[in-house]
């Protein structure tokens, strides 16, 4: 996918591939302005060190392990589902660690209502916390990045709404994790681990439930409770994320990729991919190549 015009100093040199939304113009009459958003797959030596940042930023770790230090807080290692919030006056260090792959979403906003956005979400700049991997925050990021396929008139106000929703959902995720005391649920952990390791082979969620020795209904309730999304959507997200990597990095045909990640045929894969990313698999691959 061709990289849109980004503000100066925005895109780092250690990016392998990326999908972005950069609005072409400010949204009139709005106290919150979207500066940019995107998803980046980064090289294993990716690192940024900023003494400050001019925008309010929220980043969501999607893949790999990352060492994060904000302000005077201690260094923390985050995996998928990790969230960091920072802005003007916050020193920020973010570094990929391990072999990868490493992927993360980012959102940068500006305007007089940034403080209100943080207060409404119950967040503050300098926050580092964990949410559920593949949960609702990632889905909202995908909707926001999809605004790049709309006209400026269509996308402007929608992008602002989605940006507010990302902060609110992140705040809700933090509150939910805190209410749970950060404790894991052994049944959910077992079901999630099975799904993440066998998603390319599964015929259905019912099959996964049987393998985990729980009923399909209980399996679904676990994912609803701990991820905020359905088990079916979680499974589809796993498949589409892997498909995206294969489209970027392999020479497999679209049909081969569909079968490798667990779709029954190319038609259903292409339909799901376009619904999620706004482009067909072939168009996505062609954009990356160019």
Give the per-residue pLDDT at 8: 57
Q: Tokens standing for 38?
A: 């995107």
Q: Give pTM, 2 decimals.
A: 0.71
- The per-residue pLDDT for range 232-280, each reduced to its tens digit, is 988 998 899 889 888 877 889 999 999 999 999 999 999 999 888 778 9
- The per-residue pLDDT for range 32-59, each reduced to its tens digit, is 999 999 999 888 899 988 887 889 999 9
What Å distances lie between residue 84 and 2, 70, 215, CA to CA? 27, 8, 36
Give the per-residue pLDDT at 28: 57
Contact 67/75 with Cβ under 8 angstroms?
yes
Give the per-residue pLDDT at 120: 96
- The per-residue pLDDT for range 144-197, each reduced to its tens digit, is 998 888 888 788 889 999 999 999 999 988 887 777 645 567 888 889 889 988
Q: Tokens standing for 160?
A: 């602002």
Q: How far is CA 125 from the centre of its chain?
A: 19
Task: Please report where in the chains the tokens 């709404």 appear, as a residue.
Answer: 161
Kindly list the structural domains of the chain, giving each domain's residue range(s) and its CATH number in brackets, ordered by start.
Answer: 15-179 (2.60.120.280), 186-289 (1.10.10.60)
Cα(191)–Cα(216) distance, integer angstroms: 11
Contact 169/137 with Cβ under 8 angstroms?
yes
What Å distances lie between residue 199 and 112, 139, 190, CA to CA? 44, 19, 14
Radius of gyration of the chain (CA): 19
- The per-residue pLDDT for range 63-109, each reduced to its tens digit, is 888 999 998 888 998 888 899 999 998 899 999 998 777 889 999 99
Angle between helices 281-289 and 231-249 (to 10 degrees): 40
- Name the DSSP class of 59: E
Contact 287/279 with Cβ under 8 angstroms?
yes
Cα(108)–Cα(85) distance, integer angstroms: 10
CA dihedral 134, 101, 97, 10 (to 10 degrees): -80
Give the per-residue pLDDT at 181: 47
Give the per-residue pLDDT at 287: 66
- Name the DSSP class of 42: E
Contact 56/87 with Cβ under 8 angstroms?
yes
């Amino acid at each position: 996918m061709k990289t849109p015009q980004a503000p100066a100093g925005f895109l780092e040199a250690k990016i392998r591939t990326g999908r972005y939304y950069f609005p072409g113009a400010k949204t009139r009459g709005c106290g919150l302005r979207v500066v940019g958003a995107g998803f980046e797959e980064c090289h294993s030596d990716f690192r940024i060190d900023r003494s400050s940042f001019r925008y309010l930023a929220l980043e969501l770790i999607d893949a790999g392990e990352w060492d994060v230090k904000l302000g005077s807080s201690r260094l923390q290692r985050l995996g998928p589902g990790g969230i960091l919030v920072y802005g003007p006056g916050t020193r920020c260090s973010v570094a990929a660690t391990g072999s990868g792959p490493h992927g993360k979403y980012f959102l940068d906003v500006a305007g007089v209502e940034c403080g209100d956005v943080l207060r409404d979400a119950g967040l503050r700049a300098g926050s580092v916390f964990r949410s559920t991997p593949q949960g609702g925050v990632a889905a909202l990021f995908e909707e926001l990045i999809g605004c790049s396929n709309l006209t400026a008139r269509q996308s402007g106000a929608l992008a602002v709404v989605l940006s507010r929703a990302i902060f609110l959902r992140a705040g809700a995720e933090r509150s939910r994790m805190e209410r749970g005391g950060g404790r894991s649920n052994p049944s959910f952990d077992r079901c999630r681990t099975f799904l993440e390791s066998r998603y390319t082979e599964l015929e259905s969620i019912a099959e996964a439930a049987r393998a985990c020795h729980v009923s399909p209904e209980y399996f679904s309730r676990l994912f609803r409770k701990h991820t905020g999304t359905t088990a079916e959507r979680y499974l589809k997200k796993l498949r589409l994320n892997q498909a995206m990597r294969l489209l970027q990095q392999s020479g497999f045909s679209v049909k081969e990729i569909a079968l490798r990640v667990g779709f029954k045929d190319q038609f259903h894969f292409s339909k799901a991919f376009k619904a999620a990313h706004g482009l067909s698999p072939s168009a996505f691959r062609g954009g990356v190549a160019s």
